[in-house]
Amino acid sequence: MASIIEYGWLYLITHFSDFQLACLGSFFLHESVFFLSGLPFIYLERAGWLSKYKIQTKNNSPAAQEKCITRLLLYHFGVNLPVMVISYPVFKHMGMQSSLPLPSWNVVLTQIIFYFILEDFVFYWGHRVLHTKWLYKHVHSVHHEYATPFGLTSEYAHPAEILFLGFATIIGPAITGPHLMTLWLWMVLRVLETVEAHCGYHFPWSLSNFLPWYGGADFHDYHHRLLYTKSGNYSSTFTYMDRVFGTDKGYRKLKALKNDGIEDGSKQK
pLDDT, the chain, mean: 94
Whole-angstrom distance, CA of residue 44 vs CA of residue 257: 29
Whole-angstrom distance, CA of residue 26 vs CA of residue 156: 19
Structural domain harbouring 115: 2-196
Question: Is 15 within the bounds of a domain?
Answer: yes
Question: Is 236 within the bounds of a domain?
Answer: no
pLDDT at 14 > cutoff 90: yes
Q: Residue range 178-189: average pLDDT? A: 98
pLDDT at 268 > cutoff 50: no
- 144 in Cβ contact with 126 (< 8 Å): no
Question: Is 257 within the bounds of a domain?
Answer: no
Question: Is 212 within the bounds of a domain?
Answer: no
pLDDT at 228 > cutoff 80: no
pLDDT at 162: 97
Question: Is 114 within the bounds of a domain?
Answer: yes
pLDDT grade for 259, boundaries at 50, 70 and 90? confident
Number of domains, the chain: 1
Question: Is 128 within the bounds of a domain?
Answer: yes
pLDDT at 1: 61
pLDDT at 2: 66
